């Protein structure tokens, strides 16, 4: 369907049925139109049709959620290539994994920390951890960080996609990964989902794996973000009370579409044989991980790969990786020295390909 003006498109209820919109991005109306429509339907994809692209207009387009651009008068071959790219299953180059549980206090963040520490040493500078459980904000705390600004503050910044702004919020660690923490708070503001989707479109070109530390299921207010995940690692708990919660959740999960339930991979820290049997009855493919007695990720000298207390977990993680192709792929890499880490805005996937074929 063709609309001759943004106002006409916004008045039409059929515009929200669209998955892809080609927009004449003349400023400022085109950008404003994308922002308004993205707020109403965060998953919609935009292609910008523009006569001239400057660094300023490109930044504004990305902030509005534009995935690709075409110059006016573009050749049919160029148009076809852009359409194929945007229509592909996942435009971003990175893989996104979510980690969550059925309730607070199950130890889901412990797995997020372990994954960050493990893969940060495999592909330094190309792993990003994002704390989306902004009520607790315990991901940064687990690594000994005390951020006074985090993801909520970043997304409320007027120029939140500008590299100079991003660099002040993305904390680089000696473990090889970057972290976008959350300050936490008893009554935190909801995350701006439309802005977060735009942020993922930008960061997806800079990282190979992004790991979300999620709030408890059903991930309130983050439905569109969860849709971005390739897989979601769901902690089912281990105690009798925790398993009662999971039984209620599992009934709800059976009603969800395959596009969501197929992403779920279940794990538990339970060491109780009776509890494991009960979990296996509900989730036959659940992976049981040995929970370390002490995980001192706030200690720079502590590492999942070098600390004896973490060896049982390290030896078992392969069972989880077997269910997630991208994690299985990167787990086969040899660790890289810390001084080989590139800033998050540099490097490319070709460097990783060289390591596989070399």
Q: What is the mean pLDDT of the chain?
A: 83
Q: What is the pLDDT of residue 161?
A: 83
Q: How far apart are CA 184 and CA 258, in angstroms?
A: 33
pLDDT for residue 346 is more than 70: no
Q: Which residues pair with 129 in a beta bridge?
A: 179, 211
What average pLDDT does range 222-228 have in this prediction? 86
> Nearest-5° angle of CA 274, CA 278, CA 284?
125
- In this predicted structure, the answer to whether residue 42 has a pLDDT above a threshold of 70 is no
Structure tokens at 219: 């991930």
Greater confidence, 110 or 183?
A: 110
Question: By C-alpha distance, which of 249, 211, 4 is closest to 108?
Answer: 211
Exposure pattern of 84-101 as b/e (b: 16+ CB <10 Å)? eebeeeeebebbbbbbbb
More confident residue, 258 or 242: 242
**Residue 349 pLDDT level (bands cut at 50, 70, 90):** very low
For range 47-57, the mean pLDDT: 76
Q: Specify which of 36-40, 50-54, 277-281 reaches the highest per-range mean pLDDT.
A: 277-281
- For the record, the structure tokens of 294 come out as 């002490």
Residue 221: name the closest of 193, 194, 260 by CA. 193
Residues 6+ apart with CB under 8 A from 96: 200, 209, 210, 211, 212, 228, 229, 230
Secondary structure of residue 251 in the 3-state scheme: helix
Residue 354 pLDDT grade (very low, low, confident, very high; cuts 50, 70, 90): very low
- Please compute the mean of the pLDDT values over residues 175-193 and round it to a whole number: 84
Predicted structure pTM score: 0.73
Q: In what order do the strands lie in the sheet with 127-131?
A: 171-172, 177-180, 127-131, 209-213, 95-101, 231-235, 264-268, 287-288
> What residues contact 224, with CB distance under 8 A and at least 6 apart?
42, 43, 193, 197
> Is the per-residue pLDDT at 319 higher than 80?
yes
Asked if the model's pLDDT at residue 104 lies above 60, the reply is yes
Q: Which of 104-113, 220-229, 323-332, 349-358 has the lowest mean pLDDT?
A: 349-358
């Amino acid at each position: 369907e063709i609309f001759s003006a943004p106002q006409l498109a916004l008045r039409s209820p059929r515009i929200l049925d669209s998955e892809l919109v080609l927009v004449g991005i003349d400023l400022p109306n085109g950008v404003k139109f994308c922002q308004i429509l993205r707020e109403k339907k965060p998953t919609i994809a935009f292609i910008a049709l523009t006569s001239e692209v400057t660094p300023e207009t490109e930044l504004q387009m990305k902030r509005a959620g534009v995935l690709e651009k075409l110059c006016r008068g573009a050749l049919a071959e160029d148009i076809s290539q852009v359409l194929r790219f945007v229509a592909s299953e996942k435009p971003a180059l990175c893989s996104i994994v979510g980690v969550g549980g059925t309730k607070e206090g199950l130890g889901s963040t412990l797995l997020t920390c372990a994954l960050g520490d493990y893969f940060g040493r495999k592909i330094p500078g190309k792993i990003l951890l994002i704390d989306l459980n902004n009520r607790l904000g315990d991901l940064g705390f687990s690594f000994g960080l005390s951020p006074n600004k985090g993801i909520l503050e970043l997304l409320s910044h007027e120029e939140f996609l500008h590299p100079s702004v991003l660099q002040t919020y993305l904390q680089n660690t000696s473990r090889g990964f970057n972290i976008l923490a959350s300050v936490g708070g008893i009554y935190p503001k909801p995350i701006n989902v439309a802005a977060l989707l735009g942020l993922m479109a930008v960061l997806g070109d800079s990282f190979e794996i992004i790991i979300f530390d999620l709030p408890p299921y059903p991930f309130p207010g983050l439905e569109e973000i969860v849709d971005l995940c390739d897989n979601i690692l769901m902690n089912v708990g281990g105690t009798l009370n925790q398993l009662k919660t999971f039984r209620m959740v599992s009934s709800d999960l059976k009603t969800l579409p395959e596009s969501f339930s197929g992403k779920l991979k279940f794990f538990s820290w339970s060491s109780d044989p009776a509890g494991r049997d009960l979990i296996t009855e509900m989730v036959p493919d659940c992976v049981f991980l040995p929970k370390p007695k002490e995980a001192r990720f706030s200690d720079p000298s502590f590492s999942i790969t070098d600390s004896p207390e973490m060896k049982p977990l390290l030896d078992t993680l392969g069972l989880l990786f077997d269910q997630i192709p991208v994690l299985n792929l990167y787990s086969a890499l040899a660790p890289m020295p810390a001084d080989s880490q590139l800033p998050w805005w540099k490097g490319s996937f070709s460097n990783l390909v060289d390591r596989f074929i070399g």
